[in-house]
Amino acid sequence: MSHSKRIAVLTSGGDAPGMNAAIRAVTLSALSHQHQVFGFLSGYNGLINEHFTELNAASVTDIIHRGGTILKSARCPQMHHTDGLLQAANSLRKCHIDALVVIGGDGSFKGAQALAEHWSGQIIGIPGTIDNDINGSDETIGFHTAIDTALGCIDKIRDTAQAFERTFVVEVMGRDCGIIAMEAGLASGAEQIICKELIDDEPQFLQKLYEQVKANINNDAGHSYVLVMAEHSLSISAEQLAAQLTEHSGVESRSAILGYVQRGGAPVAGDRILATQLGCSAIEHLNAGADGVMVGVVNNQLKTLAFEHTSDTQQRNRDFVARLKRFRR
């Protein structure tokens, strides 16, 4: 049997539906191995400010189905500076923490790597972000829910677009990754998906787009036209694109930014199941002595990957982009 440890857990970066399910799995699994669990609050700020609470089975009862994170999340600029890292490392030592579980995105894992230079305890990551932009896991916790949320919204926008015979530019999240746009676009039957991964030359792309929208109106195809656009994918905003489309096609165009609604809501089954498996796997790996790695699911297998590789291009998304490009020809 492994030695009893004092395990810290925190959620960092953009909150994602299913983070609570991951906290629950980490806590229950750790307790079953006689470890103690301490939840640090508001991401790395909790380490720096020594703001934590001990977690027991009761603390994680009735949370598997809740969005957000009971530990709260944040971005913590101090982690980019040595002073902040030293403070975080000192808190961990002061609280006699043996191991830290970081639930977050690849930025959070960079923070974990930086922290490891000042603290010798074990650190393990669990991929939690709606963006699904982390190498080493086919899916991240929150992605399944975000897609369903975006899809529900786009379906509703289609209704009004159809009624008014309008063109709609719908902007979805993803930071620099277009996978939410691609999957929600595909599932909603959008006429266009706009994201960096699918655009080689923006002016050329826009020119062709204006012609296609115009042709669609003229050939009486569907009376509505929906473009799902990833944030940050063009040099113009969704609103500006809608204005350009109105000007070029003569058809009334509108934009809608889905925004933070995509981060909220009850996690769908896929996210709860993923989070639960990854939470248990994280504790299993800590028991076995793992350090400096993220747990993930690749081709239905539980795997670990060193933090330094989690920002590399994700294979699953790369394959998906290749297929979309092929089908669009």
Q: Quote the least distance from Cβ 179 to ligand F6P, whole Å.
A: 11
Task: Report if residue 182 touches ligand F6P, rule: CB under 6 A.
Answer: no
Distance CA 114, CA 93 (A): 16
Distance CA 195, CA 230 (A): 5
- State the angle between helix axes of 238-249 and 202-218 in degrees (0 to 180), rounded to the nearest 10: 50
Task: Report if residue 136 touches ligand ATP, rule: CB under 6 A.
Answer: no
Of 123-131, 205-213, 301-309, 319-327, the segment contacting ligand F6P by CB under 6 A is 123-131
Scanning the structure block, which residue is given the tokens 């961990």?
92
Task: Report if residue 175 touches ligand F6P, rule: CB under 6 A.
Answer: yes
Give the residue with the Cβ less far from ligand F6P, 222 or 270: 270
- Residue (of 21, 57, 42) closest to 267 by Cα position: 21
Task: Report if residue 105 touches ligand ATP, rule: CB under 6 A.
Answer: yes
Judge contact between 44 and 104, C-beta under 8 A: no
Task: Report if residue 138 touches ligand ATP, rule: CB under 6 A.
Answer: no
The DSSP symbol for 70 reads T
Task: Report if residue 173 touches ligand F6P, rule: CB under 6 A.
Answer: yes
- Choosing among ligand F6P, ligand ATP, none, which partner's interface includes residue 174 (Cβ < 5 to 8 Å by kind)? ligand F6P
Active site residues: 131
User: Which residues, numbered 134-163, are part of the site for ligand F6P (CB under 6 A)?
Assistant: none
Give the residue with the Cβ less far from ligand F6P, 115 or 177: 177
Give the residue with the Cβ less far from ligand F6P, 112 or 290: 112
Q: Quote the least distance from Cβ 13 to ligand ATP, whole Å.
A: 2
- Choosing among ligand F6P, ligand ATP, none, which partner's interface includes residue 267 (Cβ < 5 to 8 Å by kind)? none
Distance CA 69, CA 108 (A): 15
Distance CA 119, CA 116 (A): 5
Radius of gyration of the chain (CA): 22
- Residue (of 169, 202, 162) closest to 185 by Cα position: 169
Which residues make up the interface to ligand F6P (CB under 6 A)? 14, 75, 105, 129-131, 173-175, 231, 263
